[in-house]
Amino acid sequence: MDKETIGVRAFRRVLRLTARALTAGVRDDSACCGITMSQCHVLLEADQAGFTTVADLRNELYMDKGALSRTIDGLVNIGLMERREHAPDRRQQEVELSSQGKAFVVDIHHASDSHYTAVFDSLPRTIRSRIVEDLEALALVIRETQIQERECYSLEPAND
């Protein structure tokens, strides 16, 4: 094996270890306060966006249209989100957090902040900001690569 292949495999291994560690940290649902991980991600993304369309959430979360629709339905049914027609284009739907959803997101942030504060505090102070910057850069590169692969395989962007 050449050095480049060895480097890529080491990179993939570190990503797998990181993904497992992150998943194990929320496996007991304590960080998402009793809802599914998908529901948690939808709520947090909707909170970040403030007011958004289903299509925008789909693009941001890379979720299948049907899976996202079912996830939002569940959140609407338990009163955490509200949905309505998008005024400029009635084929689209707008979603936002309900007041109960906003309070629920505060609880999610509190639970997650407790866990990740311990992790963050375990890092040497001298590298904390660099790690955040590097992880952000990695996430952006992964996202751009996924977008390029989507286009390469002629998958249509979510505009519905």
- Domain chopping of the chain, boundaries: 1-28, 29-152
Q: Are 47 and 97 in contact (CB under 8 A)?
A: yes
pLDDT > 70? residue 148: yes
Mean pLDDT of the chain: 85
Three-state DSSP class for residue 80: coil
Which residue would you say has higher pLDDT here, 133 or 59? 133
pLDDT: which is higher, 52 or 26: 52
Q: What is the pLDDT of residues 61-78, one digit of tens each?
A: 888 889 999 999 999 999
- Can you tell me which residue has the tokens 């850069």? 137
Burial profile 100-128: b = 16 or more Cβ within 10 angstroms, e = fewer: ebeebbeebeebbeeeeeeeeeeeeeeee
Cα 39 from Cα 27, distance rounded (Å) = 14
> In the predicted model, is pLDDT for residue 82 greater than 90?
yes
CATH topology classification for 29-152: Arc Repressor Mutant, subunit A (1.10.10)
d(CA 127, CA 36): 33
Determine the average pLDDT of the residues in 43-55: 89
